Amino acid sequence: MAGIALFAGTVCVVLWQNAHVAVLWDLSYILDSAARIAAGQMPYRDFPFVYPPLTFLIQAAIIRFAGRVYFHHVLYAAFVGGLGTVITWRIALRSLRTRIASAWAVTLLIAAPLTFLGIYSIVPIPEYDGDCAFSILVALWLLQRADTEEDDVSTPGSDLARGCAAGIAICLPMFFKQNMGLPFFVAAIGGGVALRLVAKFGPQDRWVNLSEKNALPGITGGAALTLLASVLALHWTAGLGNYLYWTVRFAGQRRLPGLATMLGIYHEPSLLWSLPCVAIAVLLLNWPPRSRRASVLARGVGSQLSWLRIAAFALLAAPFVVTLASLLLYDDADSRGDSLLSLWPLLLVLAVGLAFANLLSLRRKPSIRPLFPFLILAAITGTFMSQQLWGSTYAIWPLLVLLVAELLVFLERLLSRRAPARWFVPALAALISVTLLVCGGFYTSSEERLSYLQFPDGPVQHSAFPQLAGLATPGQYLPELDELLRYAQANIPQDDGLILVPGEEPFYFVTGRIPRFPVQLFDPTTDPYSPAQIADLVQSNNIRWLIVKRDLQINADPTPDRDATMQLLMEDFTLAAHLDGYDVYRRS
C-alpha cells in the first residue's frame, strides 16, 4: 500500500502539472523529432541529431502504435514518474532494512517528497533527462539485486541471470542522455574492476564471493553483449561514425562547460557554515573514542551522552531548518528555490566523503552495495555538465534521496558503534522529509524551474485540435497555434516544404507532415548551420514556405545569428499572411 500511495501521488502531480503547464520549446523538439523518426527518417544520417536515440524511439513507438495524440505521452510521463518514485523507495528500503530497525518508516519518509520532486514532476513532459534518470534507477535496482545477500534464496543460474540483467541495464542510460549515462557506465565498470582486484588480492576468508555466484561475470557479459549489439545496430542503421560525431563531438562542442564552471556549484556560501556544523556533529557522535569507551561508560555518563546526541542532532538539522525558514524569510519563488537547491552542494560533499570511505571498506567486505554512492555521484556530476546545478536537478532528485539514504545508514552505523540512540535516524529522516516535501512542493507549484518560459496571468488555454488533447497552458500560445494549423490546412499543400523559425510548436506532430529541412528547432545546441548554409539548404531542399513565430513562450529567441539568417531568407520570401502570433511567408 505504501508503494501504491507513492505511485499514485506522483502520477497525480504529473497529471496536475500537465493540466496547467506546457513547455512548448522542449516539447516541440521531442514530439516533432519522434514524429520524424516514426515517419521513417533516420537520425544522425538523414538529419542532424545531438541526443542519444532511446527517448525519441520510445515516443516514436507511442506515435506509431497509439496515434498522434499528446495525452498518450502525458500518460507515459505519469506512469514512468510514478514507477521511478516506487523504485527509489525500494532501493532505499533494501539498503536500510538490515541496518536500521525502523527502515520501513524511514524509507517511506524520505521517499514521500518525490511525489513533488519525481523525475517528471517538475518538468512534466516526456524528455531525455527524465528517461535517463529512470534508467539509472532501474540499473541501481538490478545491481542491488545482483549483490545477493547471504540470507537470500538463490537457485542455480539465478545469480547469473541477475548479473546479466544488471549488465544490460548499466549500458542503457548512455543511450538516453550521454552526459548522465556515460559517467554512470564508466563508474559501474570501474567499480567492477575494483571488486575483481579485491577478489584477487584481498583476504579470501572475508570475500563475499561474487565471482563464484556469477554476479560479476554476469554483469560483465551482459554489458559486453549490450555494447556489441548497440554498436552493430548503429552501424547498420544510422552509421556509427555519424552517431559519434553528432552525440559526442558536436554535442560536446556546444554544451560541455569548462572545469571551473563545473566546480562553481561548490562555491555555495552556505557551505561555510553548514559543513562545520556537520563536522562538529560527527565528532560529537564519535565520542567517546573506542579506546576510552568502556571506562567512560563505566563512570555512568549516559545523560551526558544523551545531551551530546541532542547537540549533534541540532547541528545536523540546522541546514534543513534554515531551508524551511526560507519560506518565511523570502517572498519570491526564486530565493526560495535557491535555498532548497543550496542543499545539493552540502549533501554532495558529504556523499563524496562517504563514497571514498566505502571504497576503502571494500577490502574488509567486498560487495556491490558500497559502490552505490560512487555510482550515484558519477551520474549527478555528469548531469551538471549541461546546465550546472540550478538548471539540471529537476530529474535527478531521486538520486539525491538515495544519497540521503546512504548517509542515514552511515549515521546509524556510527551510533551503533558508540552509544545507540534509536530515535536519532528516524527523527532526522522526518526532518529531511518535511523539508523536502514542503519546500519541494512550493518549488514545483511555483514553476521556478520553468522561469525561462512566460506564463501570462489568465485562464489556462487548450487547443481545439484532437492531436493536442491534454496540452494546456496560460496565454494565447495554443489559440495562436490553432490559427496557424487551420491556415496551413487551407493554404499550404501537404507536400510543400517549409521551415518554422525558431520552431517552438509541435507543428509536424499535429499535421503529420514530413519535414523537408534538416533542422526543425533553431537553437545553438541543435542547429549546426551558418546563415549562409541555411539559405543554401532552403534552395536545395525546395522550401516554399517560411513561418516565423512572433509571440514566443520562451523568454528570448535563441535562434543563432537570427538577424543575418532572416536577412538572407527575406531575399527569396514575401509575406503571405499576418496571423495573431505568426508571420507566414511564401517563396517568391
| Encoded amino acid at 210, one letter | L
Question: What pLDDT is stored for residue 541 in this prediction?
Answer: 92
What local confidence, expressed as pLDDT, does residue 66 receive? 93
Summarised one tens digit per residue, pLDDT across range 242-285 is: 999 999 998 888 777 666 667 777 788 888 899 999 999 888 88
Q: What average pLDDT does range 437-446 have in this prediction?
A: 93
| Residue 455 near residue 556 (C-beta atoms within 8 A) | no
Average pLDDT score over the chain: 87
pLDDT digits (tens, 9 = 90+) for 212-228: 456 778 888 899 999 99
pLDDT at 355: 86
Residues 3, 89: contact at Cβ < 8 Å?
Answer: yes
Structural contact between residues 511 and 484, judged by C-beta atoms closer than 8 angstroms: no
Cα separation, 168 vs 44, in Å, equals 24
Q: How do the domains of the chain map onto residue ranges?
A: 2-259+269-450, 466-587
Q: What is the pLDDT of residues 110-145, one digit of tens each?
A: 999 999 999 999 999 999 999 999 999 999 999 988
DSSP classification of residue 514? P
Strand pairing report for 573-578 and 582-587: antiparallel
Which residue type, as a one-letter code, is found at position 446?
S
Grid coordinates in use for 465? 485540435
- How far is residue 17's CA from residue 115's CA, in Å, rounded to a whole number? 12
- Per-residue confidence band for 288, with pLDDT thresholds at 50, 70 and 90: low
Query: How far apart are the C-alpha atoms of 315 and 279, rounded to whole Å?
Result: 9
Q: pTM of the predicted model, to two decimals?
A: 0.93
- Cα separation of 574 and 109, whole Å? 61
Three-state DSSP state, 461: strand
Taking 70 as the threshold, does the pLDDT of residue 153 lie above it?
no
Q: What is the pLDDT of residues 499-546, one digit of tens each?
A: 999 999 999 999 999 999 999 999 998 999 999 999 999 999 999 999
358, 359, 363, 365: CA torsion to nearest 10 = 40
Asked if pLDDT for residue 294 goes beyond 60, the answer is: no
With a cut of 60, say whether residue 296 has pLDDT above it.
no
Of 511, 465, 266, the closest CA to residue 377 belongs to 266
Please give the pLDDT value at position 115.
95
H helices then E strands: how many in the chain?
A: 25, 6
- Tell me which of 386 and 90 has the higher pLDDT: 90
Q: 3-class DSSP state for residue 397?
A: helix
CA distance 204 to 128: 43
pLDDT mean over 342-347: 91
Choose between 439 and 146: higher pLDDT. Answer: 439
- Of the candidates 70, 65, 92, the one whose C-alpha atom is nearest the C-alpha of residue 18 is 70
Nearest to 455 by CA among 20, 3, 137, 62: 20
- How far apart, in whole angstroms, are the C-alpha atoms of residue 288 and residue 28? 60
List CB contacts of 257: < 8 A, sequence separation 6 or more.
385, 386, 388
Average pLDDT over residues 407-419: 80
One-letter amino acid at 526 equals T
Under DSSP, the state recorded for 456 is -
Residue 302 predicted with pLDDT over 70:
no
Which residue has cell 555521484? 377
Question: Which among 111, 138, 145, 146 is positioned nearest to 402, based on CA atoms?
Answer: 111
Statement: residue 304 has pLDDT above 50: yes
Higher pLDDT, 475 or 362: 475
